[in-house]
């Protein structure tokens, strides 16, 4: 039976620094903090004895940095799926978010598969409900198109959306930084096994 894991990116570098955005070259695209990078390595440790076949990530830097230690440890490529992106609302972004350039991203993350064709390209602006809905569509598509066990790395809205796409009863989940959802295939359909755990992290991250 298959397992789908959905994780929110780890602690981001601008969380504890209110001046970070005014100093950054790409203020819409923060990386992980030092703590966040440590947490990403702990995520890789979580998967050390678990079968994983595909890794999909939002194109935002903090999501890719969360996925990279897992990809390295499991010797798997990262498939960049924009449909797992942050919610592209005017509340979060005054204009369409500017991400780090592809050349820089490919150099820093050689695990990225350059041949992957994204399923969904979200358009700015979108409202929060639209972001949740498109992440749900993406999760269903990926599960249908890629066999085996999948890890989806995203953001608050895309974690909620991907979970609800696979579980239409829309269960309550936790969604702190690093929260990990586990959905398992059973003879009667998909079932929620972990509703956003952080106990694999040390210490657990509780900031949103």
pLDDT value of position 16? 86
Ranges of each domain in the chain: 3-197
Angstrom distance (rounded) from CA 144 to CA 78:
18
Per-residue pLDDT of 156-196, as tens digits, reads 999 999 999 999 999 999 999 999 999 999 999 999 999 99
Kindly give, in sequence order, each residue whose CB lies less than 8 Å from that of residue 138, ignoring residues fewer than 6 positions away.
81, 83, 84, 119, 120, 158, 161, 162, 165
C-alpha closest to that of 82 among 34, 46, 126, 43 = 126
pLDDT at 205 over 80: no
Mean pLDDT of the 45-70 span: 98
Mean pLDDT of the 17-25 span: 90
- The CATH class that applies to domain 3-197 reads alpha beta
pLDDT value of position 18? 81
pLDDT value of position 206? 55
pLDDT at 64 over 80: yes
């Amino acid at each position: 039976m298959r397992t789908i894991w959905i994780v929110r990116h780890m602690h981001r570098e601008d969380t504890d620094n209110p001046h970070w955005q005014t100093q950054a070259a790409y203020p819409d695209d923060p990386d992980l903090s030092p703590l966040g990078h440590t947490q990403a390595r702990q995520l890789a440790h979580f998967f050390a004895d678990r079968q994983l076949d595909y890794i999909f990530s939002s194109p935002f830097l903090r999501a890719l940095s969360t996925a990279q230690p897992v990809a390295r440890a499991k010797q798997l490529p990262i498939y960049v799926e924009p449909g797992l992106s942050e919610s592209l609302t005017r509340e979060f972004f005054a204009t369409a978010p500017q991400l780090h350039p592809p050349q820089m991203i490919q150099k820093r993350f050689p695990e990225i598969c350059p041949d992957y064709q994204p399923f969904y390209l979200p358009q700015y602006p979108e409202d929060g409900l639209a972001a949740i809905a498109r992440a749900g569509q993406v999760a269903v598509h990926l599960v249908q198109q890629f066999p085996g066990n999948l890890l989806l790395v995203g953001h608050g809205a895309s974690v909620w959306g991907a979970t609800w796409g696979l579980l239409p009863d829309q269960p309550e989940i936790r969604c702190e930084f690093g929260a990990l959802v586990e959905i398992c295939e059973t003879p009667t359909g998909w079932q929620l096994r972990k509703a956003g755990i952080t106990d694999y992290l040390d210490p657990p991250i509780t900031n949103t």
